[in-house]
């Protein structure tokens, strides 16, 4: 698969997952955001990463998203034409959480010489 086609696939999966989660897994008082999609080079597997706010509901949202994974395949097939079905998993994006924590720490550090 060419890099261009791979990037198009990743973009398509991100869009489809975002729309699907918004419609199928919308839990009151939560914000679920697809942050990135990783696709294995041989198209053997794809992982869709997402973040949840508030963080206290991450486990609940992860269970809900994984419970409707089969429905995601059907939604994706209706919305987009794709030659083969790629096994998809959903996972919490711990990298995004670490990045936010790092930013909070940096905001708390004052430059030398500041009051």
**Residue 69: which CATH number?**
3.30.300.20
Residue 115: inside a domain: no
Residue 109, judged by CB atoms within 10 A of its CB (0-12, 13-18, 19+), counts as exposed
User: What's residue 111's pLDDT?
Assistant: 56
Does 113 reside within a domain? no
Domain-located, residue 14: yes
Rounded percentage of the chain residues whose pLDDT exceeds 90: 50
Does a structural domain hold residue 114?
A: no
What pLDDT sits at residue 21? 95
Q: Domain residues for 48?
A: 3-108
List of the chain residues with pLDDT < 50: none
- In the prediction, which pLDDT does 57 show? 94
d(CA 48, CA 35): 8
Question: What is the per-residue pLDDT for 103?
Answer: 85
| pTM confidence score | 0.81
Q: What pLDDT, in 10s, does the model give residues 19-29?
A: 999 999 988 99
Residue found by looking up tokens 């790092």 in the block: 102
In a domain, 26, yes or no: yes
Residue 29 lies in a domain: yes
Distances (CA, A) of 68 to 13, 19, 30, 104, 110: 16, 13, 17, 34, 46
Quote the number of domains for the chain.
1
């Amino acid at each position: 698969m060419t890099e261009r086609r791979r990037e198009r696939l990743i973009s398509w999966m991100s869009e489809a997952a975002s729309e699907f989660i918004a419609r199928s897994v919308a839990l009151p008082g939560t914000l679920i955001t697809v942050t990135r999609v990783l696709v294995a080079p041989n198209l053997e597997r794809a992982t869709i990463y997402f973040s949840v706010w508030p963080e206290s509901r991450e486990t609940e949202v992860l269970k809900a998203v994984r419970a409707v994974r089969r429905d995601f395949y059907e939604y994706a097939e209706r919305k987009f034409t794709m030659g083969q079905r790629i096994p998809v998993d959903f996972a919490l994006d711990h990298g995004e959480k670490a990045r936010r924590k790092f930013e909070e720490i940096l905001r708390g550090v004052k430059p030398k010489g500041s009051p």
